[in-house]
Structure 1
């Protein structure tokens, strides 16, 4: 397919995400000034830029340092902890900037990176990524979320939470089959209320049906009336719990107002692993059922080229392809999960409408199905009326 005809700031004959027919898009001074039905076709498929609500820039591009493939989540945690002891400011900066550059080139406008935080003081990665957030503002707007094991956060949260608040971050915890779960989840919500923080949990990241941290989080969200401020990532255990029980949990989650982030890459890679055997359980949270219940569902990149997942390139469109295939998603209906829904959760609007910034992605394809089917389909990223140059970064 040829590139769209451009005359006086108009792209013609576009297939536009969420709209039937074809459209002409006129932009001026960096903004969309007109969207009109088009008599032509063949201009490509256009969608809003992307919002990646769950990544780990502190760990990224360390896969080549790992001594072997991780066959479980906790094996990956152990290997990454050993590598983290060697991190320097220069190392962290180089790797994280490479991730941001790739995300920007692929069309990501917003990103939330979780940062491992043990103890009371901010880790070096928090400081590095805080600095990068300022440097990258306007290209990839970066939000940080602390990530602390639940027991540690209960112990050290009064030191962690003020820093997270002062730097505009999100408070996060890793929750997995903890003792005294309800009491400890309540303590995290106490911190959120005291310091005015949103919450983002890594929860039930395994395929044991006994993992029920999400139940406690939903109950506390409802009790505190914190709808729209509590995001749950992973939820792998929901894939192996009784379906009727899961339906009730999701209904309660929708009523409480939580969000759900599904991570098809690392979860599929780590769950039910073992040497010389094919995994049977993939750990994919119930996307269809959560969406039907009314829970906002988001899809994120999660780990990229590290001990948890040694693949990826901060290309959220490629992650979407993986989710469509693994989750049997109707590809037209779930585009919001990588754009509008996570953007709203991060307090932004990436929608394409008259008066909005002329920032979008144009694929050399007839629609999303065509773009997903052809991995080498051309892609242009536009920001404020300008087409970005193709990424020329070095390998990391």
Structure 2
């Protein structure tokens, strides 16, 4: 049986992903594709060799894995029970607060795990997620997401970011939260005021 962690492949890649210092082969495809020969060993890419022949548009397309830099895994798939039909910031905050008051670790785990399954299927390998970290649903969110971070390690890397009002960090509860975030190898974030309100724009005369 062949070793799936080692092998080689003729494929096409976007030219912009190759070493910009290397001269572009004269046969680089007009749409930016480049034919390459890939070699990997022990699941590590060893060589990306541009090929002199034109890129075959039927060849496999190889891309880096994707990174989702801004997610809210603690409240994915909550629209059905807590919709924001107005499509406004106030409506989003009201729906979020309603859901947050009913949040359980089991519900967060099930919803977020479903989101991670989809992300994995579509090539995402790292996600940075804010986590509501103040109020009745905060502990449930951290319980579920730190468990998922451990369960998905090696497939999707989860970067968890505690989100609370700025002055919360100077309270005893904020210090305890900071300890929990540090134990989970997470990050801190804060906002200065809520709710956000639209600022009326007055046209100049």
**TM-score higher than 0.5:** yes
Tell me which residue corresponds to 1:233. none
- Which one of 58, 62, 65 corresponds to residue 78 of structure 2? 62
SS at match of 2:159: strand
Cα offsets for 1:289-329 (capped at 9, x unmatched): xxxxxxxxxxxxxxxxxxxxxxxxxxxxxxxxxxxxxxxxx
Output the CA distance in 2 between the equivalents of 1:208 and 1:49: 39
Shift of 1:133: 0.3
Contact 1:13 1:44 in 2 (8 A): yes
Residue 111 of structure 2 is aligned with which of 95, 103, 110?
95
Instruction: Find 1:27's aligned residue among 31, 35, 40.
Output: 40
Q: Where does residue 68 of structure 2 map in the other structure?
A: 52
Residue 109 (structure 1) aligns with: 125
Counterpart-to-counterpart distance in 2, 1:68 and 1:108: 27
2:55 to 31, 41, 50: 41
Which residue does the alignment assign to 1:9?
7
Paired residues of 1:10 and 1:27 also in contact (CA < 8 A): yes
| Matched ranges for 1:202-213 at <5 A | 208=199
Q: Secondary structure at the residue paired with 1:164?
A: helix
Tell whether the 8 Å contact from 1:13 to 1:40 is kept in structure 2 after alignment: no
Aligned 8 A contact 1:51 1:111 in 2: yes
Q: How many residues align?
A: 177
Secondary structure of 1:14's partner? strand
Structure-2 residue corresponding to 1:75: 91
Q: Which residue of 2 aligns with 1:162?
A: 179
Higher strand share: 2
- How far is 1:33 from its partner? 2.4
CA contact (8 A) 2:11 2:61 kept: no
* Residues 131, 116 of structure 1: alpha-carbon distance in 2 compared, 3 angstrom cutoff: same
Q: Structure 1: 5+ residue runs without aligned partners?
A: 1-7, 179-204, 211-396
Aligned to 1:18: 17
Q: Which has the higher contact order (CA 8 A, sep 6+)?
A: 1
Assess, with a 3 A threshold, how the Cα gap between structure 1 residues 143 and 83 changes in structure 2: closer, same or farther: same
Q: Deviations over 1:218-270 (max 9, x none)?
A: xxxxxxxxxxxxxxxxxxxxxxxxxxxxxxxxxxxxxxxxxxxxxxxxxxxxx
Distance 1:151 1:74, change over 3 A: farther
TM-score by length of 2: 0.74
Say which structure is richer in helix.
Answer: 1
Deviation at 1:46, TM superposition (A): 2.4
Deviation at 1:83, TM superposition (A): 1.4
- Would the alpha carbon gap of residues 32 and 98 (structure 1) be closer, same or farther in structure 2, given more than 3 Å must change? same
Q: Does 1:84 align with 2:100?
A: yes
How far did residue 44 of structure 1 move?
Answer: 4.2
Distance 1:121 1:80, change over 3 A: closer
